[in-house]
């Protein structure tokens, strides 16, 4: 389907073509729940698998298929299943793969709902779970010295942008018999290639950079043909974790400009991170593309750029952070990320408010931390707004 020689920018537009007899330029949206058969024989043969024919959009849909195929080719994965949301991707991947009595190990710094699945949901089904500090490799070795079914990590992590050594964790996971699942949302499909670093499954919230324009929710799971078809697909098909064809079409439109957007956003984020670091009143800046990031060397080796997220801490704790957010004129207060518009959130009182104070302290989420998702505005306008915010924090 794809010319192997095409570069990424071309593939984002042209991989997995699905043009109908009408010759439309853009992909068609197949907004249909079901499909009809020419004969009873054809219907029967479809169900036995002797004939390839769409059956029902919970099982498969031409627009969703195009998205899945294009994402798989982009990631270098055998297969992809698109899901209703990013959490649909994470929950289905874990629940389809693990059984009662088995064990899951995850890095401590993971997205709030992923944290809930690992610490609250899986134990309810008799699955043992353990959290490990991402950069403590002695702890990884210890946790993975016992047979384990799955390892879930996020790198860079939310919200403090810790960078985990994916290859090193993949080796330890494989020795324990586990599949390594990487939530690659913060890096985006263009910023980091976990499969090349030894991961087995890659998870996306397509809501973030892939749509990246604040319109739809969506998710994707990518992995080997066998695992996707035999383990994940029966689960998603029968539990109903399906992406709407309309949302799939929006995400295909998002892919067309993904490289342009992520490159411009990462360049803006790098400029903004440096400007923040130079502002009086900024206690710390975390950006994987900066030399002062605690895992700068790993970031340089496994990421193509520093990404579009920056975490920074202002003076005066929560009062300072709130004053900063409230002083913004351009930057919007929102817990979404990867958007064309720059968005800022206060993790301690929003995304991580359900996490205990003790756990927040372990994650480095102090009361003065703000997570910034840098968008496509002119960097100078962003820096002016951030300077106003940081000044307000100092006065708080």
The two structure tokens encoding residue 295: 């895992």
User: Where does this chain bind ligand PLP (CB under 6 A)?
Assistant: 85-87, 90, 111, 114, 154, 158, 183, 185-186, 205, 207-208, 217, 219, 337
Cis peptide leading into 136, omega within 30 of 0?
no
Whichever of 29 and 87 has its CB closer to ligand PLP, that residue is 87
Whichever of 183 and 385 has its CB closer to ligand PLP, that residue is 183
List, in sequence order, every residue forming a beta bridge with 81; answer none if it has no partner: 221
Whichever of 131 and 383 has its CB closer to ligand PLP, that residue is 131
- Residue 207 C-beta: closest distance to ligand PLP, Å: 4
Q: Which residue is nearest to ligand PLP (CB)?
A: 86
Residue 230: how many CB atoms within 10 A of its CB?
11
Tally of residues, the chain: 396
Whichever of 186 and 227 has its CB closer to ligand PLP, that residue is 186
Whichever of 86 and 289 has its CB closer to ligand PLP, that residue is 86
- Residue 78 C-beta: closest distance to ligand PLP, Å: 22
- Residue 87 C-beta: closest distance to ligand PLP, Å: 4
- Residue 153 C-beta: closest distance to ligand PLP, Å: 11
Q: Are 284 and 291 in contact (CB under 8 A)?
A: no
Whichever of 185 and 201 has its CB closer to ligand PLP, that residue is 185
- Residue 205 C-beta: closest distance to ligand PLP, Å: 3
Whichever of 87 and 299 has its CB closer to ligand PLP, that residue is 87
- Residue 355 C-beta: closest distance to ligand PLP, Å: 15
- Residue 109 C-beta: closest distance to ligand PLP, Å: 10
The two structure tokens encoding residue 337: 């990320």
Whichever of 16 and 114 has its CB closer to ligand PLP, that residue is 114
- Residue 310 C-beta: closest distance to ligand PLP, Å: 15
């Amino acid at each position: 389907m794809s010319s192997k020689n095409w570069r990424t920018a071309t593939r984002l537009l042209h991989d997995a073509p699905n043009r109908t007899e009408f010759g439309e330029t853009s992909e068609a949206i197949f907004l249909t729940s079901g499909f009809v058969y020419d004969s009873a024989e054809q219907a029967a043969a479809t169900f036995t698998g002797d004939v390839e024919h769409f059956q029902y959009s919970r099982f498969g849909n031409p627009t969703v298929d195009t998205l899945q195929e294009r994402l798989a080719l982009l990631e270098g994965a055998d297969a992809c299943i698109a899901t209703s949301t990013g959490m649909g991707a994470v929950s289905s991947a874990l629940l389809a793969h693990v059984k009662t009595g088995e064990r899951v190990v995850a890095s401590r710094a993971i997205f709030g709902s992923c944290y809930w699945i690992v610490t609250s949901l899986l134990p309810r089904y008799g699955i043992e779970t353990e959290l490990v500090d991402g950069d403590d490799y002695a702890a990884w070795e210890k946790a993975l010295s016992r047979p384990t079914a799955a390892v879930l990590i996020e790198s860079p992590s939310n919200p403090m942008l810790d960078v985990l050594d994916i290859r090193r964790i993949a080796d330890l996971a494989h020795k324990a018999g586990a599949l390594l699942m990487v939530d690659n949302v913060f890096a985006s499909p263009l910023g980091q290639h976990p499969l090349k670093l030894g991961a087995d499954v890659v998870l996306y919230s397509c809501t973030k950079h892939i749509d990246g324009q604040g319109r739809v929710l969506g998710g994707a799971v990518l992995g080997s043909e066998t695992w996707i078809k035999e383990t994940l697909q029966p689960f998603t098909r029968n539990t109903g974790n399906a992406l709407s064809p309309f949302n799939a079409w929006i995400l295909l439109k998002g892919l067309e400009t993904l490289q342009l957007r992520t490159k411009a956003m990462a360049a803006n984020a790098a400029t903004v991170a440096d400007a923040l670091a130079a502002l009086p009143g900024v206690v710390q800046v975390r950006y994987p593309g900066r030399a002062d990031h605690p895992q700068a060397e790993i970031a340089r080796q496994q990421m193509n750029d520093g990404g579009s997220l920056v975490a920074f801490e202002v003076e005066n704790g929560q009062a300072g952070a709130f004053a900063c957010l409230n002083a913004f004129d351009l930057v919007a207060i929102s817990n979404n990320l990867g958007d064309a518009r720059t968005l800022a959130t206060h993790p301690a009182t929003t995304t991580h408010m359900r996490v205990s104070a003790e756990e927040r302290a372990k994650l480095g989420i102090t009361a003065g931390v703000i997570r910034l998702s840098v968008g496509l505005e002119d960097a100078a306008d962003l820096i002016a707004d951030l300077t106003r915010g940081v000044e307000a924090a100092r006065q708080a």
